[in-house]
Structure 1
Amino acid sequence: MTLSSGEYSRRTGVLGILLCLALTSAALADCDRPLSVGWESWRPYMYKNEEGSLSGLDIELIQAVADRMGCQLEFSEIPFKRHLLQLRQGKIDLATSVQKTAAREEYAWFSQTYRTSASNLIIRREDADRYHFKSFKEMTQSRFRLGVTRGYFYGDDVNKYIEKDDGPLHVEDVVSDELNLMKLLARRVDGIFADPIVIYSLARDIGRKDEIAVHPLGLVSDTFYIMGSKASVSPKTMENLNQALQSLQQSGEFDAIVNRYLEGS
């Protein structure tokens, strides 16, 4: 069969695109084994849906990144503090939604930033006019009972106070935001530091969203990264991960995933 010049150009053009995609996938696919990713229930970022399948904004994002890298993922449910320890030891490869700190940079690579979020003071709605803190320093002079999540980074000033906990402000830590919400609703703490999107999602699931409110006191916005263990993840893999993440953002797929979850919050 003889092709016209136009048909030949179209077909070679399509072949060229397919070849470029194949070469790109081949260039990024340096995973000789599935990459392990730790997770803990943290709606709407990572959780099991009604069908029992792992879901969430972060789960979809890291899966989309891995697909572009030509890599497979294995997810392991684990509390965040133990997740960091196993990542340091090379027993888990990746973590999502983490902040960059000097201590973590000693044992982990960090991707380019991929989202931001702010932690706020969350209180019971009935107490909306009761607390008038304008800063965390002002809060430390009170007998407020504050709930935080173990292993989370809330900023240098907050974390230094949490470590000492030697002032009037009483700090209680638990292993998850969900437990903090339960303590808040049960009046075991006066307020909690958390991502409002997460807390409202959790409260909505149990039909108690109207019982909580966001206090004006907010912490500095957190910038989140994907973190890779230096003990098990190569610099080349992190470079490829960054390329895949950038491709995801440029294609519009990244924003589509994020907006789908945030609009439902």
Structure 2
Amino acid sequence: MKKVLVFLMMAVVACSMLLTGCGGGEKKAAEPAKVLRVGTEPAFAPFEFPKKDSNELTGFDVELIQAIGKQMGRKVEVAGMGFDALIPALNAGNIDCAIAGMTITEERKKAVTFSDPYYTSGLIIMVKKDNDAVKSIADLKGKRLAAQIGTTGEMKSRTVEGAKVTTFNTQDEAALELKNGGVDAVIGDLPVMEYYLAQGGDKYCKTVGEKMEAEQYGIAVKKDSKLAGEINQAMAELKKNGEFDKIYKKWFGEKK
């Protein structure tokens, strides 16, 4: 009798284990989020640059791609590398996309596929806040101009008739010269100017006129990758729900 009871008990346990193994109400563990591997060139403030006293990256591009990844349900991993290494890294499959203030050009479009443009860059004029005489580049004739050495801003400044051009190592130094009254205007990169104003420079200065030499930035993916469409869809949703404008305002102030 004892042997029969033991046998029956073992049979019941075995059946219970079998039922449990067949999914008797047990939930599956959630799958980890798919990773979006992002490449950037981390020396282009305010788009991508290291946080103070940290190797962690921040900037407009960094926050935008993180928001895009979240919208897509992906975990974003950002890797820094040389700008010239970004497209080869895409084509080698080492990264899924690249965001680094990369201008959409016909030459680059032969090697990669771009997302929709997310930022229009170019040159802009900055003057002191109380200067209402300068409204365009035509008003700079014969004026004292400042620009960062070796940039398109310097090149543009030297096309202004009769202008006295002073160059500086950084655009911040050029802006300081304007603030101190040493020059009448600065010509430089629009995003860097907007960042300067957003960080408190708007107390002393303002930008005037239209963008010059306009360039559009895009997110690059491997040639003909469907990922570009997914990124476009996520970015469109961010623009619709206001998250894109929120990130933009943080880094550049109100849109004009």
Q: Sort the TM-score into its range (normalised by shorter chain).
A: 0.5 to 0.7
Aligned length: 215
Which residue number in structure 2 is paired with residue 135 of structure 1? Answer: 136
Richer in helix (by share): 1
1:69-118 C-alpha deviation (Å, 9 max, x unpaired): 6364324276xxxx3x4446558962344443445545553311224577
1:141-168 C-alpha deviation (Å, 9 max, x unpaired): 425323157566x7xxx96x46x85953
Are residue 58 (structure 1) and residue 52 (structure 2) matched?
no
Higher relative contact order (CA 8 A, sep 6+): 1
**Unaligned segments of structure 1, at least 5 residues:** 1-18
Which residue number in structure 2 is paired with residue 11 of structure 1? Answer: none
**Unaligned segments of structure 2, at least 5 residues:** 1-29
1:18-73 C-alpha deviation (Å, 9 max, x unpaired): x9xx8xx77xx6x6xx3311233524x44444564433333211122234263643
Q: CA separation in 2, counterparts of 1:264 and 1:219?
A: 16
Residues 69 and 223 (structure 1 numbering): CA distance in 2 closer, same or farther, change over 3 Å? Answer: farther
Residues 97 and 142 (structure 1 numbering): CA distance in 2 closer, same or farther, change over 3 Å? Answer: same
**TM-score scaled to structure 1, two decimals?**
0.56
Which residue number in structure 1 is paired with residue 209 of structure 2? Answer: 217
Q: How does 1:106-255 map to 2 (within 5 A)?
A: 107-116=111-120, 120-125=124-129, 128=131, 132-139=133-140, 141-148=141-148, 161=156, 168-169=162-163, 176-185=170-179, 189-193=183-187, 194-195=189-190, 196-202=193-199, 204=200, 210=203, 212-214=204-206, 216-219=208-211, 222=214, 224-228=216-220, 233-236=222-225, 237-255=227-245
Counterpart secondary structure, 1:39:
coil
Which residue number in structure 2 is paired with residue 73 of structure 1? Answer: 77
Residues 226 and 96 (structure 1 numbering): CA distance in 2 closer, same or farther, change over 3 Å? Answer: farther
**TM-score scaled to structure 2, two decimals?**
0.58
CA RMSD of aligned residues (A): 4.5
Are residue 40 (structure 1) and residue 43 (structure 2) matched?
yes
Q: CA separation in 2, counterparts of 1:186 and 1:108?
A: 45
Question: Match of 2:114, as an amino acid?
Answer: F
